[in-house]
Copies of this chain bind each other. A is one copy, B any other.
């Protein structure tokens, strides 16, 4: 249990920022969320936060670090379906879907805040507007899923990779978590390949291709965008699907 509410509020800052990019968040709503928080947990890179097939009784929000949702196939292959940044709920959907149809893993060391489902039910009974905002967050996940789907179906591997770089940068930048055209993103090429849906051998060549074309440099944990316009153009990136517009929801 978390007893220091000031600490919780601090860890929830990226989350509040994410919501405020889309709508206003009342002080009472903000307090209600902080009070619904339960535990603070830590997960090491490479470990699983939630397992496919399990039935979580609380939802997890990333306060620090990078997480992903993925499905492991019988062949041993893996496909990421989402990458989560600080401020993202990784399994808010388990609140209503009940059973996990995929796993959640830590891409880096993570600090997590949990929210018991029974408290989320109470929020839906007392705070209709806040409920719509939480609903909205899961809809944003769905919008990103669709964008990835379009990429997987109709874009080449270099385009999808460039698109992912644009997306992560746009999301981090909107939260104030990225420098200008530069962000820390310490994931392995294997994880990146699992996100883009290609082999590790090929992601390596794709990254070289993007570098040779003067678009990005991906060096260890740091990504540098050398030419945003060219990168976004090549990726056909349009951030509309991120719905970063403050308006009543």
Q: A-side interface residues toward B, CB under 8 Å? A: 53, 69, 71, 73-75, 77-79, 81-82, 93, 96-99, 101-102, 121, 124-125, 128, 131-132, 135-136, 138-143, 145-150, 152-154, 194, 196-197, 236, 240-241, 243, 245, 247, 249
Contacts of A124 in B (CB 8 A): 128, 131-132
Q: Which partner residue on chain B sits nearest A137 by CB separation? A: B96
Report which of B79, B138, B149, B150 forms a contact with A154, defined as CB distance below 8 A.
B79
Q: Is the interface of A mostly helix, strand, loop or mixed?
A: helix
Q: Please report the C-alpha to C-alpha distance between residue A236 and residue B71 in the assembled complex, in whole angstroms.
A: 12
Report which of B69, B99, B145, B245 forms a contact with A240, defined as CB distance below 8 A.
B99
Q: Please report the C-alpha to C-alpha distance between residue A128 and residue B241 in the assembled complex, in whole angstroms.
A: 28
Contacts of A78 in B (CB 8 A): 154
10 sample A-B contacts, Cβ–Cβ < 8 Å, listed by A number: A71-B146, A74-B236, A77-B154, A79-B149, A97-B143, A97-B243, A99-B240, A101-B243, A121-B132, A153-B197
B241 touches A96 (CB 8 A): no
A101 with B146, Cβ < 8 A, contacts A77-B154, A124-B128, A197-B154 known: yes
B101 touches A241 (CB 8 A): yes
A247 touches B98 (CB 8 A): yes
Report which of B69, B79, B135, B152 forms a contact with A96, defined as CB distance below 8 A.
B135
Contacts of A194 in B (CB 8 A): 153
Q: Across the A-B interface, give the 5 residue pairs with the lowest CB-CB distance, nearest first.
A: A153-B197, A152-B152, A145-B145, A101-B241, A79-B153
A124 CB, min distance to chain B CBs, angstroms: 5
Q: Please report the C-alpha to C-alpha distance between residue A175 and residue B243 in the assembled complex, in whole angstroms.
A: 33
A71 touches B249 (CB 8 A): no
A234 CB, min distance to chain B CBs, angstroms: 12
Q: Which partner residue on chain B sits nearest A78 by CB separation? A: B154
A139 CB, min distance to chain B CBs, angstroms: 5
Contacts of A154 in B (CB 8 A): 73, 75, 77-79, 197
Contacts of A143 in B (CB 8 A): 93, 97, 101
Contacts of A240 in B (CB 8 A): 53, 99, 101
